[in-house]
Amino acid sequence: MALTIGVDVGGTKIASGVVDDDGRILERCLRQTPADNPEKVAVTIADVVSELAGRHEIEAVGVGAAGFVDEARSHVRFAPNLAWREEPLQEKVSELVGLPVVVENDANAMAWGEYRFGAGRGETHVVCVTVGTGIGGGAVFGGELYRGRWGMGAEWGHMQVIPDGRPCGCGHRGCWEKYASGSSLLIDARASAEADPSSAVHLLELAGSVDVLRGEHVTEAARNGDRAALDAFDSLAQWLAQGLADLAAILDPGRYIIGGGVSAAADLFMDKVRVAYAERLTGRGHRPLAEIRVAELGPSAGLVGAADLARQR
């Protein structure tokens, strides 16, 4: 049985695990991310790999990185939440651990994991959308991970949906992720609560103040019938559906997979997404409807996908 290690590097945590060829995680390891120091990040990745490799026979390592990864799957060109700028991560980690290393964008790794072992199984054309603080993405077409010419494709979250709209961390305005993500959910709920506190009684009881409103407050309030919270989820659903319909016009996938932290509240918005998607689809009524499913692997998808990409190298 071939074993590989998957490493999912986020802004706060480095999660790693030993993964078999059926996508099962045999052992896990977790470290804090030294986000402000690229050298320490590489050393921390090497430490967790070495610890796991000391107890298992490992053939390769896959690293999922939250940033732009080059076409050779070796350098992280830019990462918004880590101090990576043209970082030769593959070379550094490989030299430290003595194993082949593949580096991939974390959302691409998540998409591959879901395609191979999760909600994408059985479908040849899969588009993944990760809905968290922002929106990430990945796609598999005909059994191949789509990366683009320079390895930076599938950044759906930065499609401009409203010219001169809300400012985005990418430096532009009006990006899709500013209207269909966890951060937009907070923006909309906060605006409703400030405009009409009577619509957000439960929401304000949970948070105490709109200034400290968090995603879990909006979710709990929505499940208790709070109108401001429900309206925020409805807005997210409409914007998410519009983006999926636009992607269908370009990519024509057979299945969408919705992952990320916000997908944990899928019961509050996914049915609305499916209805609105069907209404907004170009050529509706004259083309098949893609399935829209919730990701199955949860927070482990990126780790499992990175490990399998290392195996497929």
For residue 79, pLDDT over 90 is answered with no
Confidence bin at 73 (pLDDT 50/70/90): very high
Query: Average pLDDT in the 39-45 region?
Result: 96
Q: Tell me how far apart the alpha carbons of residues 147 and 107 are, in angstroms, rounded to a whole number.
A: 11
> What pLDDT digit, counting tens, does each position of 259-295 carry?
999 999 999 999 999 999 999 999 988 999 999 999 9
Q: Are 26 and 79 in contact (CB under 8 A)?
A: no
Task: Determine the pLDDT at residue 267.
Answer: 97
Residue 228 corresponds to which amino acid? A
Please state the rounded mean pLDDT for residues 232-257: 98
Q: What DSSP string describes 245-256? A: HHHHHHH--SEE
Grade residue 83 by pLDDT with cuts at 50, 70 and 90.
Answer: confident
pLDDT tens digits, 92-147 = 999 999 999 999 999 999 999 999 999 999 999 999 999 998 999 999 999 999 99
- Asked if the model's pLDDT at residue 1 lies above 80, the reply is no
Q: Convert the pLDDT of each residue in 146-193 to its tens digit.
A: 999 999 999 999 999 999 999 998 889 999 999 999 999 999 999 999
List the structure tokens of 265: 């509240």
| pLDDT given at position 12 | 86
- Using a cut of 0.75, tell me whether the model's pTM lies above it: yes
Query: Could you tell me what percent of the chain has a pLDDT over 70?
Result: 100
pLDDT band at 247 (very low <50, low <70, confident <90, very high): very high
DSSP letter assigned to residue 89: H
Does residue 2 carry a pLDDT above 90?
no
What H or E segment, with its residue span, contains residue 273? Answer: helix 270-280
Q: What pLDDT sits at residue 102?
A: 97
Mean pLDDT of the chain: 95
CA distance 68 to 15: 19
